[in-house]
Every structure is written in structure tokens, then in C-alpha cells.
Structure 1
Amino acid sequence: MESAITRTAAGVRGVTGLVVVVAATLGAAEPVSALWLVPMLALELGWTLLYLRLAWRRLPLRRRLVAGDVATTVVLCLAQRHLVATEALEGGASWIAGLVTMSIILAGVAWTPKVAIPAAVTVAGAYLVGMRLAAPAQDVYGTLVIHLVQIASVVLLMTLLRRSAASADAFLGRSARVQIELMVERLRREDELRQVSSVHETSLHTLTMVGLGTYDGPSATLRAQVATDLSALERLRDRPRADSAPIALDALLEEVAGRAKGLEVRRSLIPATVPGEVAERFARAVTEALANIARHAGVREAELVSCRRAGEIRVEVADEGGGFDQDRLPPDRFGVRGSILDTMRSLPNGGAEISSGCRGTRVSLWWRP
């Protein structure tokens, strides 16, 4: 949801920027200075193209881009007397006023309230100062009140949306865990059925041979076969409890990758059998990693690889998206910490680490038998 909101905001900001450039050019009249207007519009057009690129490629909104946009809007506000005609200033309908509103909205969308509110107030204050410099007789306090209402409304709306998104993410996380448990249980039952079928067929074959009189006297071969059948039956009787029964990890991860929505997942998985609890932990972490790629990385492809290395079973999920800074994750982004790192690190002999940068993100998971 948040990704959709940010992409929409980027698209609206890009369209607004184009309208602003056209309006500023057509409305250039005294006392507008071409020496000021041309470079400022070139700067504004540059930011506009960046926003349009984000919206076109469906990439997430970058906080650094919003910070640059806010700084640019502040400069434009302070230079209003060189950029906006007097009639537009007096009417309160200048092209810069539209940019102020968009900057307030983008600050609320991109940042949490503790950052968004000071940034938006700075923009509103710069607009007030610029109006005073350009038209000292103009009443700016009504406009300031409107901007403050906009700030409060955007911050409140985004706070509610983020809380709703966190609740939705928690619900989806619980649903994903239930699906994983169902997949694990199904694979476990299939394995049990194969074992029972194998034992049944082997034992039945031995009894059939005895009943048909194939062995009419003591036979070392028969004794060996009976011993083998009894051993298989004892193993079946003494098999571990359900939550630690072995599971084919590669089969489980194949299903997890196939359920990833909005992603093409390239897989290279080695055959590996692990206890059920271990398989569930791997599946939960991989599910969250793939969901994060779909929601935040801005790409439509991912890679899922498993291997054995130095006695460990390792699983890696990688993408070529924009990456992120783990130290700056907001508190409501529980998925990375809880569903990936804590899930694997709380497993005996298990672990996880995430490396992320401008060339992509790699989630590494491991467990040592």
C-alpha cells in the first residue's frame, strides 16, 4: 500500500512540475527576471523528470529526492520577487504556491511526522518570507493557516495509513505462516505415505513368497529379508514427532517461490532434507524476503539459491533493486528484523544476515545440522 501511495505521489509531482514550468513561462511578466527564471525553471524541470522517471518505472520514492525537492522549493519561495508577476502574487495563485502544496504532501508521504512536520513548516515559512519580500502589503497569514492545515491533514492521514498498513502486514504475515505450516504438513504426510507404502509393499512381498511356498525350509535369505522388514517397521513406529519430522527443503522453497506475487524468481536449489521446524524457519524467512523485494525493491526479478557450504545448508535471496539502510528502517518495518533475522537467529545453529547497497540486496540464511 505504501509503495502504491509513494508511486502515485511521484507521478502527481511530476505532472505538477510540468504544469508549473509551462505556467511560469507563460506568466513571465514584470518584474520577473529572466536571469533568475531560466535557471530556476531548469532546476525545477530536472526534479520533475526524476519524479516522472520514478513513476514510469514504478520505483519507490527516495527520501533523498524529496529532501532535494524541499530544498529547491524553499529557494524558489525566497526568490518569488524575481520569479512571479505581481498580479499572480496579489491573487495568491502563483505557480510557486502549487509547488509548496506538493512539497508539503511529499514530505508527509516520504517521512515520519518527526521529520515531515519540520520540513513542511520550513517550506511554509519560506513561502511566507518570500511573499513578504515580494509584496509587503499582501496578507500572507491566511495562506499560512491553509498550509498549516495541509501539514496537519497530510501527517494525520499518513499516520493512519501507516498503522493500517502495519496491521495489514501483520495479518498477511500470519496468513503466510499458516500457508507455510500447511505446505510443511502436506510434504510431511506425503513422505510418511511413501514410507508406509514402501514398507507395506516390501513386507507384503515377503509374506506372499512364504505363502506360495517359495521357501520350503530354513533360509538365510528369508531371515535377512524378515530382519530388514522388521527394522523398517520399527523405524516407522519410532519416527520423530511431527514438528521435527524431516522435510524436503528444496520442495518447500520451490512452492514458496512459486507463490511470490509480482516476481519472477529464478531458482537453483539443491536436494536437502531438514527437520520440519528448520524447514518452516527457512520458508518464513524466504517468504518475507521475496515479499520485501516485491514491495520495496522496485524490480520484478529475484534469485533464490541453496547450497551446502562448510557443513552448513545455506539459502540466499537476492535482487538488483535500489537497496536500503538497515539502520534507518522505521519501527513499523518488523518484517526484516522479526520475520527474517530473528526467525533464523533464534534457531539453534541457525543464522541470517542482510547486505544491501545501491546494486541490490542479498539475504543470507544458514543452518548447521
Structure 2
Amino acid sequence: MVVLTGLSQPVLGGDVADAMVEAIVGISVITFQHEWGTRPVVGFTLAALGAVVCALGDMFSSPTHGADSAHLARMLVEVGLSRGAYVIVRARARAADRSAATRAALRREAEVAAARRATEREHLATLHDTACATLLMVSQGDDQDWSWLPLRAARDLEALSAMPGFGTESIDLSVLLGCVPEGVGQARVQVKLLVTGPLAIPSGPGLAIFNGVREAVTNVARHAGVREAELRAWTEDGAVVVELSDAGRGFAPESVPARRRGISASIVGRMKAVGGSASVASQPGAGTRVQWRWQERPPASPAGDGTRAAGLPGPPGARAQRAAVVRFIRGQLLHGAQLSALLISLVAQFTVSLGQLTAHQDVYGPAWAQTAAFICLAAVAATGGAYLLRGRRIPPRVRGWSVGAVLAVSGTGAFTLPPERLAGPEDWVFGLIGWHALFLLADLRVRVLAAFLGAHVGLNTSAMFVLGSPTAAESTGMGLSTVSTCGFQFSVGVLLMHLLHDAAPAAGSAAAREEELRTRERIHEGMQRDHKERYRALTATTVPLLAGLGHGVLSPHDDDVRLRCGVEAARMRRLFAESDAVADPLLNELRACVEVAEHQGVTVSLAIRGRRKEVPVEVRRELIDPVAVVLGHTRTTARVTVVWTPRAVRVSVVGQDFADGRRTGDLVRAHPRAAASKVALAKGAHGGSVWVETMWEEPIASGVDLP
């Protein structure tokens, strides 16, 4: 098509036909750069072919005149600039992809960490209410009716091995609340249930409320000093509200230590994890009221791809993140488009246009006006470039003055040139103005660019009629120039607007969907890994103990079994303390073990020497576990000491009246330790006292010693 069009000049005939053929071939060759953008050799070959056939057609139509080298040079320059513009926009798009991927990776890590913390809190709360509570009860009592223990231990074992997560299927909360255990024997609490009608609620929030109520009933039995409580449930402004109240001794909620998890994790934390809320109101001597509230929120977006895994939390704010990605990609593409238009403007002005201006000074009237217009246009390009090259958007006020200056240049060029020369070789302004408008108006609607080009063409048409009566050939030439030059610039503007307003949202949405899938996969992988790493150490000790209690192989009347239950409860309490955000994690986890021993009636003193330093979590586990074992088997008093040195930390415990000093070695090895452990262990026994010390020394390769 390019060859046939270029060689059609002898058939069409006339200068107007030459201009039309050149416009058709030039636009075809320029747009071809974008269709075959990844193969520049093909595009430049077609450009050379177009230039050759236009020259041949010109020679064949006018044998006495040679080919117009200016037109051929202009076509090659335009092709080169088109390729350069494509490369700039593509580079900005790739930069946007890389930057968006980096931002998405950072956001993904934050979302994964938040989701893992949420599921971790839920799982730890479940363990607190099930296995840990059961083991603590066994370790503290010896004259109880244990008929309930086998079934509860079996259920606790099932909860320990299950992955966290709630479903979304609807259940009747009133039926679920009727199953709240009241306890047995002296620990039984008579719960009066008052529910107004069926309460449909998703199973996730329903189970969260059920487990919270169960924990609250247990607290009534342990601390309230009464054996009656009232449980009410109703709907209020679209929310499901559950309230448990008692007339017991009450307490001051603000005085409860942060390490106590019955309220913070099992009641408040669990409801927060499923999007609800819980509150505890109490005063000493005025009873206690615990209230749970949950209200369904409209879904952020329908899950049309079926990729949401059951029980897996989705990334929060997905719609807002997708909009942010779209805005970012659009901004990067806009910046690339403006840089491309600026490049075309500068190259065209200081090559072709400057040559035209200097070669035809005698045609302009006056010439100084044309020169001033050239300088003004160069100033506009320099001002816009100063913002764009620094990665900033052109301010609206600067853009307004610049657009006005460009239109003034258009009018100056039109009214200081003879009408028959408009849009001809002497008119350097006509074909240049549109590129300046493009980099100034690229971020606006396409109708703004159309209005500007219409005003530009209108000024030149007005000058043609005001300064003289145009002939048919002059009018036709102006029309062809308008179509070939302004029409092409308008087409490029439409392409850029489409790129910004259609392609950018599509690319941003696709990137956001892909990132959401990656985030879900990472959350799933993280939870699987956390579950294995966190509970692998408990499997070898807690699971056999629960299995023995559940099948009646182990008796809660056995003193050794109760001691083992106390040790496992201390290990779980230390595990719960891992998730606390505290300044000294090692001391916080030690105190969790000490607290369990104190519940067994052991008097424990804790001493700290030196300045703390950072200790990896896996090292803390090995440092503290032998201490938990010794505390669990101590009957009267114990002393725990932590000594910090510049490169090491030592944790020692001395237990008085140890349960069985001859089995010290077996006890401190009961908890499995990694084969490549860096924690050294020393132990000794004398009479009824046992001493155990663990030490970890920071590797020398880790760098400068921490204070």
C-alpha cells in the first residue's frame, strides 16, 4: 500500500496531490512504529521505502524537477521521533511495572504479616481455652470428679491439630448458645438463657462468640464467687448482641496484667479478628457484664474468580489498593507521553522549524515577530520540561499561561505571513504548535486538545480570509495540511488518552488481581509454615499427654501426670507470650512460665542482671524450656536468674523440693531440641534441689556487639 500510494503521484497530478501522498505515506509509516514497536529494523525499513517511493513519484510527476529533499528529510525525522516516543512511553511503562511490583511486594508483606498475626491470635486463643485450660485444671486439682476429662481432652487434641479459620455458612446463634458448658461439681455455673427469636449469623463470628461466652462462664466459676449468670442475646440496629452478666464480686478491668489472656485474647481479641467487638464492664463488688457485638458488613467486591480459599483472610482494602495501582500506572504513562511530546516538540522546533525560520526571513512581515514567536515557544518548552524532567506535573496556572502563549504564537505566525504561504514551506508554526499543546494537555480530556487544535486552525483560516481571498488550490492545501498535520497530532492525542484512561485501568486492575492472588498464596503458605514451626515442639509432649488423658491411659490422680500437665501448661503460656509486642521478649516469656508455677503454689523469685539484647525466637524457646520443666516439678520455692553479657545470655533456675531429683536429666531432655542448637545446657542436683542453666552466645560473624 505504501509503494502504490507513493507512486500514484503521476496519476493524481499537481502539488496538492504530492502533499496528500506525502501525508498518507508519512502517517502510515509513523503509526507503523507503534504496531511493530518491538522490531525497529522493520519500521525503519518501511520508512526508507516510503521516502524512496515518494521521491520516485515526485520525479515521475515532474520530470524536470528533482525530488524535494526537505520533505524526505522531514519524513525520516518524524519516523525517528515516533520511534523515540514509543521507546520513552515503553520505558515509563516498564518503570511503572517495576515500581508497582516493588510497592506491591512491600504491601503484600505487610498484609501477610497482618493476616498471620490475626490467625495466630485466633489459634492461640483457641489453645488457651482448650488444651491449656484443661492441663492447668489437671495440674491444680486432685480431689475432683474427672469423669468429664476424657471427652474434653479428646476435643482439645482435635483443636490442637486443626488449622485456624472460620467458615461463612449461616448458623442459629440461639442454638449455639444453648450448648455453652456450665461446668460440673463445685465449678458449675447455672446459666439462665434469654434469647429473642432465632439469630442467623455466619459460623465464624458465631463460634467466636460461643468460645468467648464459654471462657467468660469459666471466669465466673473461678473468680466471681457466685454460681449463677444470665446470658441474653438480641438484635439491635442490624447487629447481633450477646451479653453475659453476673452479680459476683467484680473486679477492676484496668488492673488485669497484659499477660492474662482470658479477656484480651479469648474475648476481645477473638471478636476483633472476625470483625466484631467485645467489651467488659465491671467494678469491685458490683458484678461483671461482658458484651459481644457483631454486625455484617457489605462485601467489598464479589469473588468472581473462585480463588478465595475457605478460611483464608483476604487482603484488606483491595478496592482502594487497586485504585491506587491504577492511578500510579496512569501517572507513569502520562509522564512518558508528555516526555515524548516534549521531545518531538524540541527536535522539530530546533531542526526543521529553525531551518524554515532562518531561510525565509524575507517573507515574514515583520521578521522580528516570527523570531519573537520562536523564542516564546522555546520558553514554553523549557518551562514545561523543567517540571517534567524532575518528575513533577505541570501546575494548572503554568499550563494555562503556556497554552495562552502557544495560541499567541499561532496567531502571530498566521498574521505575519502572506496568506498564500500559510501551511507552506515558509510556515514553521503551523505543524509545530500541536506538539506543544500535546505535552501541555495530555492529562486532560481529548475534547480539550480538540478545542485547542480547532482554535489553532481557526486562527490560520481567519488570517487567510482577512489578509486576502484564497484560491481553491490554497484552500485545498490548507485542508490537506490540517488533516495531515493537525489530524495526525489529534490522533496521537486520542491514542494517549486511550492509553491513560482505558489501558492504564485495565493494566492496574490486572496487576491488582494478580497481586491479590499472590498475597492469598503467601498468607496460606505463611499460616502453614507458622503452624508447623510453632507447634512442632509441642507435638512430642502435649499430644501424647492429651491422648493419654483422653483414652484413660493416664490418670489425673497421678502426681507425675499432674506435674507433666503443669509443665505443658507453662510451655503453652510461653508460646502465647511469643506474640506479645514487648521491649524484652525473653523476660516476658519467662514471666509467663513463672506465673504458671505460682498458680501451683510455688514461690518464685526472678532476678535480671546486665543489659538486654536481641535474641532470636528459636533461641528463646531453647533457653526457656528447661526452666519451664524445672519450675513445673518444683514444689516449694525456685529462683530464676537472667544474666546478660556483651555477647551472651545465661538463664538459670534453682528449684527447691524437686519432685524427683533422680530424673533431672530425663526432664530437661523431655522437650526436643534442634540438632544444630547453639544453646548450651548445664545441670546439677543435690538432695532435693535442682540447678539448670542454659546459655546462648552470639556468633562473632553477626557484627558489632549490641548494648
Q: Greater CA radius of gyration, 1 or 2? A: 2
Q: Which has the higher helix share?
A: 1
Query: What TM-score do you get using the length of structure 1 for normalisation?
Result: 0.49
Query: What TM-score do you get using the length of structure 2 for normalisation?
Result: 0.28
